Structure 1
């Protein structure tokens, strides 16, 4: 008896991958790219925020960021030996080791810059006559016994101070050291003896044994108390103009000499100085970091510090919380803008992934319909499609995540994994969900739905109204509360794009029907046929239209944001300089200087200006800057810069009176009807009358001023003290060579570049630009997918029409004209949506945090940018036309044979 033949069934997934390797590769590439971008986004945000926090720490002085713990000397009622023992190095080191653990996580301490020791609370005047006395007052010294002196300084002359025998309050002489800056300004040399007053006993002799050079002068060790490094010329506040001054310098004692400090005055203090590690705290832990600082100042951290010192009088002071608060304000102003761009890019990426699944489902609609007709269960069919997609998408998503982690090595990994996982999950679920929806009913074929004939269902109408209500609520919330709201507020531009897409889908059939009738009266069949074809576009075009409108509105909104940032920086730089370049002099320069500066390459025009800041109108006490100008050149400068433009004839002298241009406050103070006298700083005077009022002027934008013709001023007031230049490619070194070494040169380009050096601001700008570019790139991909989806049907139609006599040129025009109506409508709607989004959201968004530093006074407003509105729309039309031309060329080139083969069911 023969054995039965066992039938081998090929696995579904392997069969599908072998049948369509190109589609599988394209899906893997799409998922890998999307996962890489999604995974890199959160880490890029973390990276620039961390860099911004480190920059905030670096810009703040160590005396503002260091945690300073101070404890009084031990109880005076204790025996002298016990009080001295508490100030010796071993006891101080134990206390320091305990206090270092007082700050809670994530506040990390930089051990390399930390220090501890004993310091005199009161600065003591020393009677030594050889110390400099600028106003006859004796110099004062501050006594410090710091730790780690040998590690943080090198000896220029002499040696480090030592304490050869134990010191106490009765010690008569100690060794000391000073820094080179202190030695040079206070005339201290190696071997000098400084007599420090001590109440009730002879002065303490401090013998200087070494002159030290700090290894890291800017570090927290030397800069927490700058007096350790550099002496200060102090001023005694007294009535009158002459303020008495005296020198104050620091004397550095060995730690073993710390017990001698109680003999010089009351209550020396023990101090650990704990500078934070600027590279340790991540920006996303800012809230915990602020809580740790607060707990250290008046919470559990303070209790731990008091327990370590054994004294309830121990205090903790720091201004680190001010630095953190300033950074938090800047970040809170920047983060919403980045979230808006990220939401738009994420929406476009999600739409493209859904379109890829829809394209695969439509490509296999006959196969899936046949399987359902032969009894395939819908859950089983969806499960096989999910497995088929997951085999491709999961490894591609993991590869994209790995690329993101390698491209952006810093930042949190959890958010990147979640973002890449969301991309992978969307890619896996798109095909099975689309297929399950399309084939939930068993049928032999899928009916075609045309945009011009299909009536929207009741559920679709309800969904569209829901989206409309959400969009209106999000926009209103953003206008009321600002951008610091919930996630719905961040999705406001996306929801506006969704509403625009739904409205356009409703209007498209109506518009196309209105165009079809006039086109039917034209000669030839290409135009009417193309409009008829456009009106029969499938109703599932909502996804590519949503991607296009979201990308266009995001690009227009993002371009307006970037244009607003650039405009604000240009304006701030112009107000700071007054022209493209400014050359200022301490005294009037030689007459040939203007000609030499005008000959510098790149200089287009020069406006000589003389400014007298101490001019006093009506011989009063209030001074108003008087600006003497050449009316022609200065008028051209004001017109070119937009800062108070005026005709040159307005400054033409009339008799002995000089017409003047004044700021509004000066005009209100002195009037515009009658002349008045202005007394200049050199003693001369001029009679002026205000004839023109302007808010700004290039020489002093935003301030009080009087502008007159300098030809009417007496010498030397008629000579210029500054040159205002316009031109391109100006070089500060070339201008300085032409103007002289004593001249001060300011360039507008340099001033503008200074506004973009903040890592937080520049990083946010780069991430924003990348998000907009990502949305635009995936929108083009969505357009390609939509055209690829219709390519087989269009090719078959063109082949049939070719057999009916349609020429190649007519076929090319047919494919091009068929794609233009919807692309033109999408481009117009995208530009209109971008304009509306910008106008609706501009009252709630302030770009100042992104554009300018905290100290800037120039507001940065969001306004629609014409280039950002028109360029993306024109690029969309150009891309659509280019794709249609390429498809038409390829279809016509292939011929009709391959499209009209037997069994063609398209």
Structure 2
């Protein structure tokens, strides 16, 4: 027993000194450079990165499957960060590959600026790629926040368009006065005026059911539906058939119907009695989910030609235009009917703390992420500024001009800023595409009392993707150019003395 105890004691006492002696049996001046192009990740780092990636992927998949309103709502706040972390870890691993691949061909280039800039980008410390983590994470959050705001704005525009039917709507209980369409067409910003007659008391199936019936001019109404994107259809399909005269029951007229009406009535002919007692025979030939004249799930649209003028007098005018003058439209209507503007309808949708507060949160998140990205880049450039200034001073003593110094610093900053910008665009787009199935923006976009135009989905906003990336490139190039200009003002001797002091 005493021999075993002495052996164990000897092993425990000698293990550390022997390990240290084995590690230092050869005399070395330093441990070698930890350049980003030559450094190899340790196994511990690999395991840690794989663990983080697997956990992040699992959280994103759970959000996609269960949705934000089904027990995964807390993941919405961290999901963009998780996607950004995944992309950043992948980019940090891939970042050295192009530097290694371009190092040898760069040696054949004429001039010293290009090869020197690429060589310096590959010889930076391995820890210099850490700002990529901050940049990509910030890019993803900014792109996600901007896409949420863009999705909310699109959903509100769509809901307002569905409610009004066009950019503006003038509706009267009786027929609109003659000449009103001409006055409305002269209002600033109005391009087209489409008149529609809507009979809300039209009876079908022997008077057992009633639903809105819109009588229109097929050509003008088809153009309106195409411009607004509300149930576009070919005008010829709704035109009055040859030989259809008056309100005869024998004249079967083609009709456009909503899916609910088409399901109830089928493709057979049916009779419709208008408010003035006129009886007409219709057959549904077109089915559309939406139509500009009527906001609802039940509607019929027919050609007014051949029907009695008293039954088809327009009582609704739909206006389209790029920038309508609300005051001019109201003055042109001159109390002839109720005026509804799409812009005014859209302004009524922000009426709860949830909606206004949610918008502020996403706006602040996008702004903070953009600022965080700029700060990370500036700190990274500032940390390397003294060493780069000293390098320029040494190179000037060997004949490097000021213009070449500016190009050197700009080219040296691009290998980090360019992958961050391109990776940020790709990561932001991927984050929106991955997370959109689990996020419904309807509640944030419109009030609960408003009938939304379908589910408000999250979609990538090009401006939210491009602006942060371009800003980072401009910032990196600008800082490098300013640093080269400032170093040139100080002179080579002052920079070399400052570099020796450091």
Cα deviation for residue 698 of structure 1 reads 0.6
SS in 2 for 1:563: helix
CA distance, structure 1, for counterparts of residue 374 and residue 493 of structure 2:
31
CA distance, structure 2, for counterparts of residue 714 and residue 481 of structure 1:
56
2:436 corresponds to 1:839:
no
2:167 corresponds to 1:580:
yes
2:230 corresponds to 1:647:
no
2:37 corresponds to 1:452:
yes
Q: Is the 8 A contact 1:608 1:722 kept in 2?
A: yes
Q: Is the 8 A contact 1:732 1:746 kept in 2?
A: no
2:255 corresponds to 1:695:
no
CA distance, structure 1, for counterparts of residue 381 and residue 294 of structure 2:
59
**292, 311, 315: which one aligns with 1:721:** 315
Cα deviation for residue 532 of structure 1 reads 1.2
Q: Is the 8 A contact 1:574 1:580 kept in 2?
A: yes
Match of 2:111 in 1: 524
2:247 corresponds to 1:660:
no
Kindly tell me the number of residue pairs found equivalent between the two proteins: 463
Structure 1 segments (4+ residues) deviating >6 Å: 443-447, 486-489
TM-score by length of 2: 0.86
CA distance, structure 2, for counterparts of residue 757 and residue 902 of structure 1:
60
> How is 1:286-435 mapped onto 2 (pairs within 5 angstroms)?
none
2:465 corresponds to 1:869:
yes
TM-score by length of 1: 0.49
Q: After superposition, give the CA deviation of every residue in 1:113-137 in whole Å (9 maximum; x if it has no partner).
A: xxxxxxxxxxxxxxxxxxxxxxxxx
CA distance, structure 2, for counterparts of residue 595 and residue 640 of structure 1:
20
Q: Is the 8 A contact 2:63 2:75 kept in 1?
A: no
SS in 1 for 2:275: coil
Distance 1:608 1:503, change over 3 A: same
2:500 corresponds to 1:904:
yes
Distance 1:903 1:769, change over 3 A: closer
Match of 2:128 in 1: 541
Match of 1:155 in 2: none
Q: Is the 8 A contact 1:564 1:863 kept in 2?
A: yes
Q: After superposition, give the CA deviation of every residue in 1:166-194 in whole Å (9 maximum; x if it has no partner).
A: xxxxxxxxxxxxxxxxxxxxxxxxxxxxx
Q: After superposition, give the CA deviation of every residue in 1:371-394 in whole Å (9 maximum; x if it has no partner).
A: xxxxxxxxxxxxxxxxxxxxxxxx
Bigger Rg, structure 1 or 2:
1
Q: Is the 8 A contact 1:736 1:743 kept in 2?
A: no
> How is 1:716-755 mapped onto 2 (pairs within 5 angstroms)?
716-755=310-349
CA distance, structure 1, for counterparts of residue 410 and residue 311 of structure 2:
72
CA distance, structure 2, for counterparts of residue 732 and residue 903 of structure 1:
66
Cα deviation for residue 519 of structure 1 reads 2.7
CA distance, structure 1, for counterparts of residue 372 and residue 157 of structure 2:
32
Match of 2:16 in 1: none
SS in 2 for 1:613: strand
Cα deviation for residue 809 of structure 1 reads 1.7
- 5+ residue gaps, structure 2, are 1-27, 245-250
Cα deviation for residue 550 of structure 1 reads 0.9
> How is 1:229-240 mapped onto 2 (pairs within 5 angstroms)?
none
Distance 1:486 1:582, change over 3 A: closer
Match of 2:486 in 1: 890
Q: Which has the higher contact order (CA 8 A, sep 6+)?
A: 2
2:407 corresponds to 1:813:
yes
Distance 1:905 1:449, change over 3 A: farther
Distance 1:489 1:640, change over 3 A: closer
Cα deviation for residue 774 of structure 1 reads 1.4
Match of 1:474 in 2: 59
**256, 279, 303: which one aligns with 1:685:** 279
Q: Is the 8 A contact 1:565 1:850 kept in 2?
A: yes
- 5+ residue gaps, structure 1, are 1-442
Match of 1:563 in 2: 150
CA distance, structure 1, for counterparts of residue 147 and residue 207 of structure 2:
49
Cα deviation for residue 508 of structure 1 reads 0.8
